[in-house]
Amino acid sequence: MQQMCAFWSSVALMSGRYHGSPMVKHLPLPIDAVHFDCWLALFETTAREICPPAAEAHFVERARRIAASLELGIAGGQGVLLGIGERFRRDEAGELR
């Protein structure tokens, strides 16, 4: 939780509090576009509930950008090079399509 707070403080306020590498934590996870869409839907609902509109837009815009970059990194780690606007999808068994 401390890392998450430092991360969002750095992302939203450019406080420089976070010194880590989120990509490294996410690369080994068996996740794809479905999980990122789900994550973003939850994040966006929560941001709408608790933030004033300008802050909500600020957080959501950054969350979308970072989620897309994590998805791109995970795809790359699996040897899949995504084109612009392309999503990373595995099959039901978690294998690459």
Taking contact as CB under 6 A, which single stretch among the options 28-36, 45-53, 73-81, 82-90 is the one that binds ligand HEM? 28-36
Residues 30, 90: contact at Cβ < 8 Å?
yes
Taking contact as CB under 6 A, which single stretch among the options 44-52, 60-68, 74-82, 84-92 is the one that binds ligand HEM? 60-68
Closer CB to ligand HEM, 40 or 80, in the complex: 40
Does 66 participate in binding ligand HEM (rule CB under 6 A)? yes
With CB under 6 A as the rule, give the number of residues binding ligand HEM. 16
